[in-house]
């Protein structure tokens, strides 16, 4: 009878240990799922970073093209001086505004006033 009691106690101990094993298995699955999600999001981040870098390069190219076109516009120094004195703006602002308006001082004044 002593042997039977020992076996029953061993089975009871084994049954008590089993739910703990299931719980730790579930916890391990959670950790593994998190690691997989992290890996997938890292790949997503890499592609998003590549897309942002491409967009930034495109914006820089557009800005450089605009700067080249504006630099090609011929403006008079007297027009810049007129805008600076009449509108009390920096010379760089006056020059840029003149270039954006094709060197037309009247159109530039109208745009800056409105």
The residue ranking higher by pLDDT, 66 or 23, is: 66
Q: How many residues does the chain have?
A: 114
- The band of 9, judged by pLDDT with boundaries at 50, 70 and 90, is low
Is the pTM higher than 0.95? The answer reads no
pLDDT tens string 27-86: 766 666 665 666 667 778 888 999 999 999 999 999 999 999 999 999 999 999 999 999
Give first-to-last CA distance, the chain, whole Å: 105
> Under a CB-based contact definition with an 8 Å cutoff, are residues 108 and 87 in contact?
no
């Amino acid at each position: 009878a002593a042997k039977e009691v020992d076996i029953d106690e061993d089975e009871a101990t084994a049954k008590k240990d089993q739910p703990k094993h299931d719980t730790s298995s579930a916890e391990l699955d959670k950790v593994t799922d998190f690691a997989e999600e992290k890996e997938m999001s890292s790949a997503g981040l890499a592609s998003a970073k590549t897309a942002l870098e491409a967009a930034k390069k495109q914006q820089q190219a557009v800005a450089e093209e605009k700067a080249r076109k504006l630099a090609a516009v011929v403006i008079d120094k007297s027009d810049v001086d007129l805008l600076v004195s009449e509108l009390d703006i920096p010379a760089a602002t006056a020059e840029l505004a003149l270039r954006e308006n094709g060197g037309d001082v009247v159109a530039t004044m109208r745009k800056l006033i409105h």
